[in-house]
Amino acid sequence: MPNTKSAEKRVRSSARKQARNQASVSRLKTAERKYLALVSTGKADEAKKAFLEVSSAYGKAVKGGTVKANTASRKRSRLQLRLNKAAKAAAAPKA
């Protein structure tokens, strides 16, 4: 229990920030799962669009302070690598 008025305010503020961060992270995870599902099924065109959405979501999360910049950069890079690999496999001639 907070003992002072300022501590009570910090509790309220922390709860608001936690809710906002939780929503942001949930949105990121949902977008990433959608993207990975498209990549695994081999739908390259749809996956490209989904990648742009995921990348944008990570940028917004960084701007809001929910995710650190290096974490977002690493995630974007790895997701892009998966997309490139899937696009290459789709473009390869089938023997």
The encoded tokens of residue 39 equal 């990549």
Q: Residue 81 half-sphere exposure, CB side, CA atoms within 13 Å?
A: 6
Classify domain 5-28+41-91 at the CATH topology level. Answer: Methane Monooxygenase Hydroxylase; Chain G, domain 1 (1.20.58)
Residue (of 94, 88, 92) closest to 39 by Cα position? 88
Q: Are 54 and 14 in contact (CB under 8 A)?
A: no
Tens digits of residue pLDDT in 66-95: 999 999 999 999 999 999 998 888 777 665
pTM of this structure: 0.83
Average pLDDT over residues 9-32: 96
- Mean residue pLDDT across the chain: 93
The C-alpha atoms of residue 95 and residue 90 are separated, in whole angstroms, by 13
State the pLDDT at residue 95: 59
Each domain of the chain, given as residue ranges in start order, spans 5-28+41-91
**Which carries the bigger pLDDT value, residue 95 or residue 33?**
33
